[in-house]
Structure 1
Amino acid sequence: MELYLKVRLARSEGMSQRDLARHFNISRDSVRKMLAFSSPPGYRRTKEIKRPKLDGFTEIIDGWLEEDRKLPRKQRHTAKRIHERLRTEHEFTGGYTIIKDYVRQRERRTREMFVPLAHPPGHAQADFGEALVVIGGVEQKAHFFVLDLPHSDAYFVRAYPAATAEAWMDGHVHAFAFFGGVPLSVLYDNDRCLVSKIQPDGTRVRATLFSGLLSHYLFRDRYGRPGKGNDKGNVEGMVGYVRRNHMVPIPHFPDWESFNTYLEEQCRARQTDTLRGHTETIGARVQRDLAEMRPLPAAPFEACAQASGRVSSQSLVRYGTNDYSVPVAYGHQDVWVRAYVDQVVIGCRGDVIARHPRCYAREDMVFDPIHYLPLIERKINALDQAAPLAGWDLPKEFDTLRRLMEARMLKIGRREYVQVLRLLETFGMDELHAAVKQALKMGAVGFDAVKHLVLCQVEKRPPRLDLDVYPYLPRARVETTSAASYMSLMSEAAK
């Protein structure tokens, strides 16, 4: 720039271009350029770069790179691999550098451009992310639902064992309750839990459960292009933010509920932040979102998948890939199933007949031992081999009661022990356990005695055991005093 200034000043004072070139020891072409531009224009290419060794091979390279668009990103051609294939398959004699430069320039020309988007208040974006967590001492993958309000940058997150359709619906229900309103629209990707099919004209065929959610809350669903996460870039970025800030280091919680309570607290705490480029806090800006959102309906949506089934000969009902037990009295009957994120409810006609914790394993059996006790009472020889009873963690007093009953009554004692267990159909484990301990202490080893004791506990009255009614209870014989015997003793004492 200093030389530019001197040359241009000398020319303005009348020095010719020939004299300028001689005085500053530069060429006349340089003088003309300095006079034409007030500052150095830099190098300007006027002709296309000639690559004689690459001529005839660019069409081959373009074809390979176009085919790569249909393949996974990690299995696409690199410049090095293109150079190797050209040499071995097409007798290419050029170097690696011209291939690398051509591929780089081609990618730069075909790189996608984006339009800056405005986000009016009242609209949302939703997605799922994944992260490792430790729940109940077991390391596992958490699938966390994120609903983001792009206008205010407020968000809600909730974690689940799996990203099922029920988890999608449950996430919406909790997110709407968290914000206290329903967004005007929510932008999604084309997850199969939401979209069962994309028509040739681009319209989506919604999944049945998702259609029910839309009908309940009355918001508009919008979708990005398949495979284009940047169409909902705000929530994509929020998924990464949640993973980096709330799940590093790996979270340790006793159960999913406590983990989700922690996540909800973090969502509330962030609303006090003021982000770069804004003068208001997130909490202040979210008020504009809430002003545009719809009010919540009178009752929340029941976020569960519904199915029908038939009870098998082993008193099992299949949902997904897992089998859940029901009472044996409902064998071979038609039932309905409602699957929530945390439990599976099974009913017959208008009655709920079984509830189980939701199992996310595959090809597993979930038993409730109480369901099989009536059948085991009739088939008492199956007591020790019954799979539903395997691993049933009963208090140690129950094992003591069984040994005493079998020792006194043999096979009848085993059947009475099962009858004692069947009291769990009516009473709680704590009540029955207390009655069993009291029966052992009193030596009243029998079903009728245990039943009497547990009823007395429930009704809060003292127990009164009649030995004539309970023939298997231990007997105590008390002799009555004879007056004649007493008088003979007195006469002997007088002597």
Structure 2
Amino acid sequence: MDLYRKVRLACAEGMSQREAARQFNISRDSVRKMLAFSVPPGYRRKAAVKRPKLDAFTGIIDAWLEGDREVHRKQRHTAKRVFERLRDEHGFTGGYTIMKDYVREHERRGREMFVPLAHPPGHAQADFGEAVVIIGGVEQKAHFFVMDLPHSDACFVRAYQAATSEAWVDGHVHAFAFLGKVPASTLYDNDRCLVSKILPDGTRQRATLFSGFLSHYLFRDRYGRPGKGNDKGNVEGLVGYSRRNFMVPIPRFATWQEFNAYLEDRCRKRQTDVLRGQSETIGERLARDLVAMADLPAAPFDACDQTTGRVSSQALVRYKTNDYSVPVAFGHRDVWIRGYVDAVVIGSGGEIIARHPRCYDRENMVFDPVHYLPLIEKKINALDQAAPLAEWNLPPEFATLRRLMEARMIKAGRREYVQVLRLLETFGIDDLHAAVKKALQLGAIGFDAVKHLILCHVEKRPPRLDLDVYPYLPRATVGTTSAASYMCLMSEDAA
């Protein structure tokens, strides 16, 4: 630019173009161009680039690249593959570089264009992401629900063991409770947990559980184009942000509840941040979001999958490939099942008959040993082979109690031991454990004594055991009385 200015100034003061070219050691064409343009115009191509060896093959390349739009992105042509096919199938003799440049330019021209979007207050986007976590010392995959409010950039994150329908709904319920409001609308992708079918006219048929959830909270659901994550770019970006900032290094927590409490705390602390391009904190902008949102309903939605089943001959009910036990008294009955993110609840009529932790393995059996004790009491020979009792880790005093019972009463002792275990149908394991330890200290080895002791423990009153007449104490040795011993009763001394 400095040379440009000097040449133009010299010619404006009367110097000829010939003299300027000689003075500044440049061609007269350059001087003429400097006088025609106040600033350098740059290079201007007047004709299209000519590629003699490639031009005859551009139609073939275009057809291949257009056909790639219909196949999976991981099986599309690379520039190297295009070059190999042109060389082997069509006799192309040109170089790789010129062909690679043409493919790159073709892809650049075909890239999608986007419209800048404005985000009014009161609307949300939701999605799921994945990360590796360590819960209870076990490394596993966490599926974390993310809700983003694009206007304020406020967020809510909650982790689950699987991205199931009930996890989607449970995530919303906790997010709404966290915000204290319900968004006017939420944008989703077309996850099968939410959308069971997309009709030809684009209408979505919602999944049953999600449809009931929408009816409870009364907000509008919106959906992006299938396979187009950029339609909800804010929450897609938040998924990556949450993984990088909330889950690095790999989180280590004892329980999922502790992990989720940590995530909720991080979301709350983030509201004090001021993001690039903004003059207000996230929390200050969130206030405008909350004004545009609706109030929560009187009660939260029951986020569970509901179905029915039938109890098998082994007192098991199948739910999502896994079998859960129920009390044997309900064998062969029809039952209802509610699957929550962390529990499976089974009921009959208006009564809940079983509650288990949710199992996310496949083809597994989840037992409650107490469910089988009435049947084992009748079929006492199955005590040592009963699968529900195989991994039941009872305190060591229970094994001592059983050994003493069997030593004194043999088979009847095993049955009384099961009767002791059946006290868990009414009392807690801690109370029963205390009663068993007390029975061992007193030497009162029997069901009646343990039952009396646990009642005294619960009611906080001292036990009243008459150990002199207790039927299961060791038998006293009594000698046989001879007939001559009775003669003393007939003597004068006895009178």
TM range (shorter): over 0.9
Partner residue in 2 for 1:36: 36
The one-letter code matched in structure 2 to 1:36 is A
**Structure 1 pair 219/36, CA: closer, same or farther in 2 (3 Å)?**
same
After TM superposition, list the pairs within 5 Å mapping 1:76-91 onto structure 2: 76-91=76-91
SS of 1:384's equivalent in the other structure is: helix
TM-aligned CA deviation for residue 52 of structure 1: 1.4
Contact 1:132 1:141 in 2 (8 A): yes
TM-aligned CA deviation for residue 464 of structure 1: 2.4
Contact 2:444 2:467 in 1 (8 A): no
Contact 2:126 2:235 in 1 (8 A): yes
Partner residue in 2 for 1:143: 143
Contact 1:446 1:473 in 2 (8 A): no
Partner residue in 2 for 1:183: 183
Alignment deviations for residues 282-305 of structure 1 (CA, whole Å, 9 cap, x no partner): 111111001010000000010001
- Alpha-carbon distance between aligned partners in 2 of 1:375 and 1:342, rounded to the nearest angstrom: 29
Identity of aligned residues (%): 80
- Alpha-carbon distance between aligned partners in 1 of 2:296 and 2:383, rounded to the nearest angstrom: 52
Partner residue in 2 for 1:366: 366
TM-aligned CA deviation for residue 469 of structure 1: 6.9
SS of 1:56's equivalent in the other structure is: helix
TM-aligned CA deviation for residue 142 of structure 1: 0.7
Structure 1 residue 461 corresponds to structure 2 residue 453: no
Partner residue in 2 for 1:481: none
Alignment deviations for residues 433-475 of structure 1 (CA, whole Å, 9 cap, x no partner): 1111111111111111111211222223322234687522335
Q: Which moved more, 1:266-275 or 1:133-142?
A: 266-275
Q: Which moved more, 1:300-309 or 1:50-59?
A: 50-59
Q: May I ask how many residue pairs the two structures share in their alignment?
A: 480
TM-aligned CA deviation for residue 22 of structure 1: 4.7
TM-aligned CA deviation for residue 15 of structure 1: 4.1
After TM superposition, list the pairs within 5 Å mapping 1:320-399 onto structure 2: 320-399=320-399
Contact 1:188 1:224 in 2 (8 A): yes
Contact 1:448 1:470 in 2 (8 A): no
TM-aligned CA deviation for residue 265 of structure 1: 0.8
TM-aligned CA deviation for residue 167 of structure 1: 0.6
The one-letter code matched in structure 1 to 2:122 is G
- Alpha-carbon distance between aligned partners in 2 of 1:57 and 1:466, rounded to the nearest angstrom: 106
SS of 1:383's equivalent in the other structure is: helix
Partner residue in 1 for 2:13: 13
Partner residue in 1 for 2:93: 93
Partner residue in 2 for 1:171: 171
Alignment deviations for residues 256-294 of structure 1 (CA, whole Å, 9 cap, x no partner): 001111111111111111222222111111110010100
Contact 1:309 1:335 in 2 (8 A): yes
- Alpha-carbon distance between aligned partners in 1 of 2:296 and 2:24, rounded to the nearest angstrom: 81
- Alpha-carbon distance between aligned partners in 1 of 2:27 and 2:408, rounded to the nearest angstrom: 122
Contact 1:125 1:150 in 2 (8 A): yes
Contact 1:68 1:77 in 2 (8 A): yes
Structure 1: 5+ residue stretches without partners: 479-484, 486-495
- Alpha-carbon distance between aligned partners in 1 of 2:329 and 2:59, rounded to the nearest angstrom: 73
The one-letter code matched in structure 1 to 2:297 is P
Contact 1:325 1:366 in 2 (8 A): yes
Partner residue in 1 for 2:310: 310
Q: Which moved more, 1:98-107 or 1:53-62?
A: 53-62
The one-letter code matched in structure 2 to 1:141 is K
SS of 1:115's equivalent in the other structure is: coil
SS of 1:151's equivalent in the other structure is: coil
Q: Which moved more, 1:330-339 or 1:66-75?
A: 66-75
CA RMSD of aligned residues (A): 1.8
Partner residue in 1 for 2:233: 233
- Alpha-carbon distance between aligned partners in 2 of 1:27 and 1:199, rounded to the nearest angstrom: 70
Alignment deviations for residues 75-113 of structure 1 (CA, whole Å, 9 cap, x no partner): 322211211121112211111011111011111111112
Q: Which moved more, 1:274-283 or 1:41-50?
A: 274-283
The one-letter code matched in structure 1 to 2:421 is L
TM-aligned CA deviation for residue 16 of structure 1: 4.2
Partner residue in 2 for 1:264: 264
The one-letter code matched in structure 1 to 2:162 is A
Structure 1 residue 448 corresponds to structure 2 residue 448: yes
- Alpha-carbon distance between aligned partners in 1 of 2:332 and 2:58, rounded to the nearest angstrom: 69
Contact 1:370 1:424 in 2 (8 A): yes
Alignment deviations for residues 143-166 of structure 1 (CA, whole Å, 9 cap, x no partner): 111111111111111111111111
Contact 2:306 2:337 in 1 (8 A): yes
SS of 2:55's equivalent in the other structure is: coil
- Alpha-carbon distance between aligned partners in 1 of 2:277 and 2:468, rounded to the nearest angstrom: 88
TM-aligned CA deviation for residue 62 of structure 1: 1.9
TM-aligned CA deviation for residue 23 of structure 1: 4.5
Alignment deviations for residues 290-327 of structure 1 (CA, whole Å, 9 cap, x no partner): 10100000000100010100001111001101110000
SS of 1:265's equivalent in the other structure is: helix
Partner residue in 2 for 1:490: none
SS of 1:152's equivalent in the other structure is: coil
- Alpha-carbon distance between aligned partners in 2 of 1:469 and 1:91, rounded to the nearest angstrom: 109
Contact 1:346 1:354 in 2 (8 A): yes
- Alpha-carbon distance between aligned partners in 2 of 1:258 and 1:277, rounded to the nearest angstrom: 34
Contact 2:316 2:325 in 1 (8 A): yes
Partner residue in 2 for 1:122: 122
Partner residue in 2 for 1:488: none
Contact 1:444 1:474 in 2 (8 A): no
User: TM-score under structure 1 normalisation?
Assistant: 0.93
Partner residue in 1 for 2:59: 59
The one-letter code matched in structure 1 to 2:414 is R
Contact 2:308 2:336 in 1 (8 A): yes
SS of 1:239's equivalent in the other structure is: helix
Contact 2:135 2:256 in 1 (8 A): yes
- Alpha-carbon distance between aligned partners in 2 of 1:371 and 1:468, rounded to the nearest angstrom: 36
Partner residue in 2 for 1:493: none
The one-letter code matched in structure 2 to 1:444 is A
- Alpha-carbon distance between aligned partners in 1 of 2:314 and 2:69, rounded to the nearest angstrom: 52
- Alpha-carbon distance between aligned partners in 1 of 2:271 and 2:64, rounded to the nearest angstrom: 49
- Alpha-carbon distance between aligned partners in 2 of 1:420 and 1:91, rounded to the nearest angstrom: 88
The one-letter code matched in structure 1 to 2:352 is V
**Structure 1 pair 459/3, CA: closer, same or farther in 2 (3 Å)?**
closer
Alignment deviations for residues 208-238 of structure 1 (CA, whole Å, 9 cap, x no partner): 1111111111110011111111111111111
The one-letter code matched in structure 1 to 2:193 is C
Q: Which moved more, 1:178-187 or 1:440-449?
A: 440-449
